[in-house]
Amino acid sequence: MADHNPDSDSTPRTLLRRVLDTADPRTPRRPRSARAGARRALLETASPRKLSGQTRTIARGRSHGARSVGRSAHIQASGHLEEQTPRTLLKNILLTAPESSILMPESVVKPVPAPQAVQPSRQESSCGSLELQLPELEPPTTLAPGLLAPGRRKQRLRLSVFQQGVDQGLSLSQEPQGNADASSLTRSLNLTFATPLQPQSVQRPGLARRPPARRAVDVGAFLRDLRDTSLAPPNIVLEDTQPFSQPMVGSPNVYHSLPCTPHTGAEDAEQAAGRKTQSSGPGLQKNSPGKPAQFLAGEAEEVNAFALGFLSTSSGVSGEDEVEPLHDGVEEAEKKMEEEGVSVSEMEATGAQGPSRVEEAEGHTEVTEAEGSQGTAEADGPGASSGDEDASGRAASPESASSTPESLQARRHHQFLEPAPAPGAAVLSSEPAEPLLVRHPPRPRTTGPRPRQDPHKAGLSHYVKLFSFYAKMPMERKALEMVEKCLDKYFQHLCDGLEVFAAHAGRKTVKPEDLELLMRRQGLVTDQVSLHVLVERHLPLEYRQLLIPCAYSGNSVFPAQ
């Protein structure tokens, strides 16, 4: 504010003057309306000068002249100002420049009317304070309520002294404008009260409320607290196994560093030393509690730096450790998935064989074979061998075959469950389970029916996965087995129905119309829901294009009807 006075005063000053001129004054409790009018006249005389953009000196000159004209008017008007808080403030702001000159007559008038003179002097002093700093508005505001009450002279006295202390600083900072008397008077008043802080605030208006002396104490206490807390968090960091603890620990370090850095250069040097010693993280902590006992500010800063370094290193180390097992778990999960895919591809690659076997074993063995092959499809590592075992053992011991696929499916269920719960936990739980399960399936089995069933199981597994996806809920392994059985039965029914429909139509080739009939029979396709609607709903775009006839360019429809 003090810096921008020459520029900013003109604009707000003019605005305030306009406001004051236009606004009606409050009815004064005291018979000083005339004085207020006189004061306003003075303001008006001064305002055009301000509007012309003259400097403060010119305004002061003008105010000097005005002052000479009506000193008493000033005093009386100022007395009138006292009654109205906002108005007084605004006028004080407006009259910052001339106030300095007005101080002279006021000082002259002061001794004459004791209470009244004191008030205008206070007002002027408050104006001066306002002129300097915006935060100084509070003193005038504090003045105003006191002023409004007519009977509180003592309060005003104290405030006036306070203000005069500010004015003393103001007068000292400002070059005298012929205010020797005023300054002397203010100084005389200031002598009674010592205001050491005020000149500091005047010199640094922006920091009026922040005595710098406070910092050292706060920093010391703060660092001591930091030191105390620095001992605690490392334990938490080390004990916590989640990687997300890092930012929690890191943020207080950042906060601690921020107040430390701006202090002095010595701090930076200490921090640099602390950073250098970060490699010896644990050692720093031992040093940190010992050092602050010796020194105060400097050591406190060192402690802070060391604590920062230690905490950062510890967090980093712990974070790395924590991340590693997660990575391992993820890698293992990947391996499993890859192996699973590989086993499936192997089984499919071996190809379908022996339709005769299918006809023989269709009854119950198919189920076990399906289970076994499915279980092998999911197994990783010795999946092929286990599949062979399952396929060969189906006739011999369906029970054992069912047991092994169940165990294998347990593994697969673990894999299915991995995405749902925390991957780390699931992986850790499935890791020990799977190697145990792998050893279970017996080896002495032929590889005959395996290729036949494996692709069947692979395809079924596809639908089983669809089932688990649609269910949106975790499922048991046995439930998945049930799903496979149901799918098998369904396929059978499907084929039978298609056969019947095709035969009814006199064809040997199943056509889409048969399928539509089947779906209608199932209730999927109704008069409201047509086949095309279902196709659009459930199938991807490529299939939809193939299934639903669309007209293309060249007067062609695809697929042809």
Partner 1 sequence: MALSTIVSQRKQIKRKAPRGFLKRVFKRKKPQLRLEKSGDLLVRFHPFSGWEWGTGEVHLNCLLFVHRLAEESRTNACASKCRVINKEHVLAAAKKSRG
Q: According to CB under 8 A, which one of 31, 355, 432, 444 is a site residue for partner 1?
A: 355
Q: According to CB under 8 A, which one of 204, 489, 504, 521 is a site residue for partner 1?
A: 489
Q: According to CB under 8 A, which one of 38, 260, 308, 487 is a site residue for partner 1?
A: 487
CA dihedral over 43, 49, 55, 57, signed as positive or negative: negative
Indicate the residue among 36 and 487 with the shorter CB distance to partner 1: 487
Indicate the residue among 444 and 540 with the shorter CB distance to partner 1: 540
Please calculate the CA angle 437-439-440 and round it to the nearest 5 degrees.
65
State the nearest-atom distance from the C-beta of 327 to partner 1, in Å.
Answer: 12
Q: According to CB under 8 A, which one of 273, 349, 486, 533 is a site residue for partner 1?
A: 486
Q: Are 305 and 273 in contact (CB under 8 A)?
A: yes
Structure tokens at 257: 């560093």
State the nearest-atom distance from the C-beta of 354 to partner 1, in Å.
Answer: 10
Indicate the residue among 140 and 451 with the shorter CB distance to partner 1: 451
Of 157-165, 383-391, 404-412, 529-537, the window that binds partner 1 (rule: CB under 8 A) is 529-537
Q: According to CB under 8 A, which one of 204, 327, 493, 504 is a site residue for partner 1?
A: 493
Rounded to whole angstroms, the Cα distance separating 137 from 119 reads 17
Indicate the residue among 154 and 472 with the shorter CB distance to partner 1: 472
3-state secondary structure 424-465: HHHHHHHHHHHHHHHHCCCCCCCCCCHHHHHHHHHHHHHHHH
* Residue 556 CB neighbours (<10 A): 9
Q: According to CB under 8 A, which one of 31, 262, 419, 444 is a site residue for partner 1?
A: 419
- Interface mask toward partner 1 for 427-466; x: CB under 8 A: ----------------------------xx-xxx-xx-xx
Indicate the residue among 228 and 362 with the shorter CB distance to partner 1: 362
State the nearest-atom distance from the C-beta of 350 to partner 1, in Å.
Answer: 13
CA dihedral over 25, 29, 34, 39, signed as positive or negative: negative
State the nearest-atom distance from the C-beta of 226 to partner 1, in Å.
Answer: 39
Indicate the residue among 214 and 538 with the shorter CB distance to partner 1: 538
Rounded to whole angstroms, the Cα distance separating 305 from 361 reads 77
State the nearest-atom distance from the C-beta of 133 to partner 1, in Å.
Answer: 59
According to DSSP H, which parts of 261-296 are helical?
265-276, 281-294
Structure tokens at 404: 């092994």
Q: Assess 358 for contact with partner 1 (CB under 8 A).
A: yes
Q: In terms of C-beta density within 10 A (0-12 exposed, 13-18 middle, 19 or more buried), how is residue 176 classed?
A: exposed
- Upstream peptide bond of 559 is cis (omega within 30 degrees of 0): yes
Q: Are 267 and 301 in contact (CB under 8 A)?
A: yes
State the nearest-atom distance from the C-beta of 451 to partner 1, in Å.
Answer: 11
Tell me which residues in 154-213 interact with partner 1 (CB under 8 A): none
Of 97-105, 163-171, 188-196, 327-335, the window that binds partner 1 (rule: CB under 8 A) is 327-335
Q: Assess 534 for contact with partner 1 (CB under 8 A).
A: yes
Q: According to CB under 8 A, which one of 476, 504, 530, 533 is a site residue for partner 1?
A: 476
State the nearest-atom distance from the C-beta of 450 to partner 1, in Å.
Answer: 15
Angle between helices 33-51 and 56-69 (to 10 degrees): 150
Q: Are 156 and 119 in contact (CB under 8 A)?
A: yes
Structure tokens at 369: 């074979």
Q: Which residues contact 87 (CB under 8 A, 6 or more apart)?
A: 20, 23, 25, 26, 81
Q: Assess 349 for contact with partner 1 (CB under 8 A).
A: no
Rounded to whole angstroms, the Cα distance separating 440 from 401 reads 11
Of 264-272, 368-376, 381-389, 512-520, the window that binds partner 1 (rule: CB under 8 A) is 512-520
Q: According to CB under 8 A, which one of 184, 251, 492, 526 is a site residue for partner 1?
A: 492
Q: Are 399 and 387 in contact (CB under 8 A)?
A: no
Q: Assess 555 for contact with partner 1 (CB under 8 A).
A: no
Q: According to CB under 8 A, which one of 253, 418, 434, 437 is a site residue for partner 1?
A: 418
Q: Assess 559 for contact with partner 1 (CB under 8 A).
A: yes
Q: According to CB under 8 A, which one of 232, 473, 506, 551 is a site residue for partner 1?
A: 473
CA dihedral over 257, 263, 264, 266, signed as positive or negative: negative
Size of the site for partner 1 (CB under 8 A): 74
